[in-house]
Amino acid sequence: MFGDRLSAAVSACGAPVCVGLDPVLERLPDASGEPLAAVERFCTGVLDAVAGVAPVVKIQSACFERYGWAGVRLLESLIVGGRERGLLVINDAKRGDIAISATHYAKALLSGDAAADALTVNGYLGVDAVEPFVAVAEREGAGLFVLVRTSNPGAETFQGVGIEGGGDVSSAMARMVRGVGAGLVGASGLSSVGAVVGATKPEVAERLRGEMPEQVFLLPGYGAQGGDASGLRRFATERGDGVLVTASRSVIYAGEGAGWREAVRGAAERMRDEVGAALG
Ligand SMILES: O=c1ccn([C@@H]2O[C@H](COP(=O)(O)O)[C@@H](O)[C@H]2O)c(=O)[nH]1
């Protein structure tokens, strides 16, 4: 099960950190030549640099989809390349639709040779729209991270709206995520159905943890969006696990010039050490 595989990978690397691949041509240390070739060179270099430091990488699908079929083909080859380097790979595609279409998305992204280990899902269409992803994830031994409380400031517009009976809209989502993930809790005590919760939102961490005791929280917003290590313990389970802190720009654009790969590795190591120390 994905929850157990993630738990083992985190133990082997020493801290629950994930490096995000969000390649933007203008920011690449070497953007020479054909754009997608430059993106490929960069992403391959990042995978080489972080393998063995971070257990997980998260690839932002949008950065590749914008280049059409050739971009998607590159995305798939990076998923394969990440897994070949011993990394778990999350495809951050944030899919969601009515059940029939959700099934197509789930099969497209979670099965086959270029499938990622886990996929981000938008569950705001409701439980019937998430169940097809859960069914395919279970069959494939894959994981899901369902958006619960996102890292952006505007998340509060809807996710923070109070609901009858207590809590807010994100609480209702949390309850659904726990429910659909209940059958996928492995020996680690963690479900293969996790939740996306912003590292920028420590003020709701304990409440969401109480609502989702078995979920791994994928925590974006660390670094470039202002999230830091000080609030991390609040998101974790009593055991100190159940979190996966992810950062993209603050790690992958850490260096320029010929030594950029070493700078990326150094930034990933610093993040691993900070996160490890914060979680104890
Ligand atoms: O709530 C969310 C959900 C997803 N993301 C994604 O994570 C990375 C963050 O990049 P940084 O450079 O570390 O800010 C990016 O791919 C987002 O689309 C998020 O930020 N918040």
Q: Residue 250 corresponds to which amino acid?
A: S
What is the CA(57)–ligand 1 centre distance, in A? Answer: 12
Is ligand 1 within 6 A of the CB of residue 249? yes
Catalytic (active site) residue 94: yes
What confidence tens digit (pLDDT) does each residue in 90-142 have? 999 999 999 999 999 999 999 999 999 999 999 999 999 999 999 999 999 99
Contact 94 CB / ligand 1 (< 6 Å): no
Whose C-alpha lies nearest to ligand 1, atom 4? 220
Residue 165 Cα to ligand 1 midpoint, Å, equals 31
- Who's near 62: CB < 8 A, 6+ residues apart? none
Ligand 1 within 6 A of 92 CB?
yes
Separation of alpha carbons 243 and 62, rounded Å: 24
pLDDT surpasses 90 at 241: yes
CATH number at residue 18: 3.20.20.70
pLDDT of amino acid 42: 98
C-alpha angle 8/11/17, rounded to 5°?
100
Q: 22 CB less than 6 Å from ligand 1?
A: yes
Three-state SS for 126?
coil
For residue range 208-219, list pLDDT tens digits in order.
999 999 999 999
Q: Ligand 1, atom 10: nearest CA belongs to which residue?
A: 248
Instruction: Give the tens place of pLDDT for each residue, 44-89.
Output: 999 999 999 999 999 999 999 999 999 999 999 999 999 999 999 9
Residues 6+ apart with CB under 8 A from 99: 128, 129, 131, 132
Please check whether residue 184 is in contact with residue 1, taking contact to mean a CB–CB distance below 8 angstroms: yes
221 CA distance to ligand 1 centroid (A)? 6
**Ligand 1 in reach of 247 Cβ (< 6 A):** yes
13 CA to centre of ligand 1 in angstroms:
22
* pLDDT confidence of residue 148: 98
Residue 174 has pLDDT above 90, yes or no: yes
Which residue range(s) make up the domain with 108? 2-279
Q: How many domains does the chain contain in total?
A: 1
ipTM value, please give it. Answer: 0.99
Q: Whose CA is nearest to atom 6 of ligand 1?
A: 220
CA of 5 to the centre of ligand 1 (A): 23
As a whole-number percent, the residues of the chain with pLDDT over 70 amount to 100
User: What pLDDT is attached to residue 280?
Assistant: 86
- Is 162's pLDDT higher than 90? yes
pLDDT one-digit tens code per residue, 1-24? 999 999 999 999 999 999 999 999
Helix, strand, coil proportions of the chain in percent (round to 5)?
50, 20, 30
As a three-state string, the secondary structure of 74-102 is HHHHHHHHHHHCCCEEEEEEEECCCHHHH
Go through the chain and tell me how many residues it has: 280
